[in-house]
Structure 1
Amino acid sequence: MAHLRQANSEINQALAVERRQTEEAQRQHELEDNRAEVRNALYGDFLTETPYAAISSMGSRRVQVDRYKGLLPEERARLKHEQLQQLEEDRRRQQLQRQEHERWEQKTLAQARLGVLKDRQQGRTERQLREQLAQENQRLAMEQQKKREMFDKHVYTNVPSEAFFSQFNTSTR
C-alpha cells in the first residue's frame, strides 16, 4: 500500500508539473498574442496617421474610404497653394472694386461741381438778360413818354370843332 501511495504521489506530482508547464505555456502564448496585438495596433495601418494607407491599388487618385486618414502632404501643399491664390485673387478683386468706386466717386464729384458751375453761369446769364430787358423796357418807356409828350405838345394841339363832327352822317352814302 505504501507503494501505491508513492506511485500515486509521483503521478500527482507529474500531473502538477505538467499542468504548471501547460499553464506557463498558455501564459507565454497569451503574452505573445497580446504583445503582437499591441504591436499591430501601434504600427498597423488602422491606428496610424499615415495617409498613404488609404491609397487604392487601383490608382493614386482613388482612395479607400475605410482607411482614409487625411490628405497627403502633396495634396495639402496643393490645397494651401490654391487657397493662397484665391486669397490673392480676392485681394486683387477688392482692390479693383475700391479703385472703381473711387473713380465713380471722383466722376460724381466732378459732375456735381460742373452742375454747380453751370447753375451759377445760368444764374448770371439770366440776371444779365433781366437787366438788359429792364434797361430795354426803361428805354422804351422813355421813348414812349417822349412821343406822348411830343404828340401832346405838337399833334394834339388842334382840337376839332363842332363843324368837323357835323359833317359826318349827312348823306346816305
Structure 2
Amino acid sequence: MFLLNLPSNPKELAAIERRRRNEKERQARIFNVKYRTIGIDKEMLDEQVRQRELIQEMERRRDEAFAREMIRNDLKALVMEQDERQKDYECAKRVDEFRKLYQKPEMAREWDLNNPDALKNGVSPRIMDDDPRLGPASIQSFAGEDLNLKARKKLQQEQLKEYFNTQRMIRKKNERQQQLADLLFDCKQTQLNQIGYNFEKIEEECKRAIGVATRHYNETLASEAKMKEREQRKRDTDEQLSEIIDTAFSNLLTEDDSTAVSAVNPSRVVVDRWKGMTKDQLNEIRNEQLKQMEQRQKCEIEEERFNAKWDLYHNVIAKQGTIIEQKLNEETKRCNQTFADYNLKLAETQKEREKYLKNVVYRSVPSSTFYTQFNTTSR
C-alpha cells in the first residue's frame, strides 16, 4: 500500500511557492501590454515623478516664504522711512520755532547795517547845496551834481510831447499829400488804360481788315489754282483720248499682218507692230486642243470603269464583313450561355458548401469558457 499521510518537505513547499510567485510576477509583466511594448520601469518612473513634484512643491513653498519675508521687510523699511521723515520734520519745526523766538534779525548786532528801512527812517545827509550841516570835510557836495532832476525831467517830457505832436501833424500832412498823389496817379492810369483800349480796338480792326484782305487774296489764288487744274485736266483728257483713238485705229489692234513683215527678213514678224498669229499657227493650236479633248474623254471612260470595279469590290467586302459579324455575334452568344451555365453550377456548389458549413461544421457556437483557456500561462 502507498503511504498518503507522509509529512511534506518544507523546502519543496517553499520552492513551489516561490515558483508560483515568480510565475505570477512574470505573467503580470508579460500580459502588461504597455510595459511589454515600451520596456520601461513604470514604478521607478512614477517614483521619479513623485520626487520631482515633491521638489517642485518644496521650491514653491520656499519661494512663497521668501516673497512673504520680502514683503514684510519692505513694510518695515517703509514704516522706518516714514518715522525718520517725521523725526526730521519735528526737528526742523523746533529749530524754526527757536529761531523765530530767540534769533530774530532785530536782535543781531549787525542789524543797523542790514536793516532794509535804514535809509527810510534816517535823516537825509543833505537837503540843498547851502545846507548848514555840510562842513568842509562832509564830502557831500560835488561838482556836476543835478539837484533839479525832477524839474528837468518834467521839462524834457513836455518838450518830447510837443515834438510828438509836431511829428503827428507832419505825418498827417504827408498822408494827405500821398492820397492826393495816389488819386492823381489813378486818374492818369485810367486815362492811359482808355488810350490803350482805344489802341487795342484800332489794332483789332486793322487785324480784321488784314484778315479779310488775306482771305480775298487766298480765294483769288484758290480760284486761279482751280482754273489751272481744270485746264490741266482738260489737256490730260484730250491727250488720253487722242492716245486711245490712235491706239484703237493703229495697226497693233487691227492685227494687220502685212505691216508686221520685216523688211530685212520677210519670214520674220515684228512683234511691236502685230501680236496676232497666222492661220497655220491657229490650225495647229486647234488640232492640239482636239487631241487633248480626246485624251480627256478616254481618261474619264477609264476612271468610270475603275470606279465601277471598285464599287463591286466594296460591295463584296461589305457582304463578307456582315457574314463575319453575324458569326461573331453567334459565337459571343454561345460563350455567354456557357459562362452563365458555369456560374450557375458555381452558385449551386457555393450554396451546398455554405449549407454544409452551417449545418455540420459551425453547428455549435463556442461559449465564453472557450476563450478563457488561452493566455493562462507564460510558457
How high is the TM-score relative to the length of structure 1? 0.46
Structure ID, larger Rg: 2
